[in-house]
Amino acid sequence: MRVSVSSLDWLNLGMRFFTDSAQVHCPYCGESFELIVDTSAGDQSYIEDCYVCCAPIHFSITVDFEGELVVLAQHENDC
Ligand SMILES: [Zn+2]
């Protein structure tokens, strides 16, 4: 049985269009981790606890004019 690889590729491209990942550093403990972002939602700003030290990190997520993901991770009180 043959598996169509091309249709799988298209699926992956579609996924990639709507989600992206960025390497971020926790401003509290300095631990780096990968953040998965739903880019279809546009610019976002939210607070999420660091999974290492549980401190509240303020994430500012923007997509620049070239479609590159820009993620800022700040202390909650810096914003
Ligand atoms: Zn942390």
Q: Is the pTM of this model over 0.85?
A: no
Q: Is 60 exceeded by the pLDDT of residue 14?
A: no
For residue 79, report the distance from its CA to the centre of ligand 1, in Å: 17
| 51-68 pLDDT per residue, tens | 899 999 999 999 888 878
| 29-44 pLDDT per residue, tens | 999 999 988 888 888 9
Domain residue spans of the chain: 5-78
For residue 72, report the distance from its CA to the centre of ligand 1, in Å: 14
Confidence band (pLDDT; 50, 70, 90) for 16? low
For residue 65, report the distance from its CA to the centre of ligand 1, in Å: 30
Q: How far apart are CA 1 and CA 11, in angstroms?
A: 20
The angle formed by the CA atoms of residues 42, 39 and 68, to the nearest 5 degrees, is 95
Q: Is 70 exceeded by the pLDDT of residue 5?
A: no
For residue 67, report the distance from its CA to the centre of ligand 1, in Å: 28
pLDDT of residue 6: 61
Q: How far apart are CA 45 and CA 37, in angstroms?
A: 11
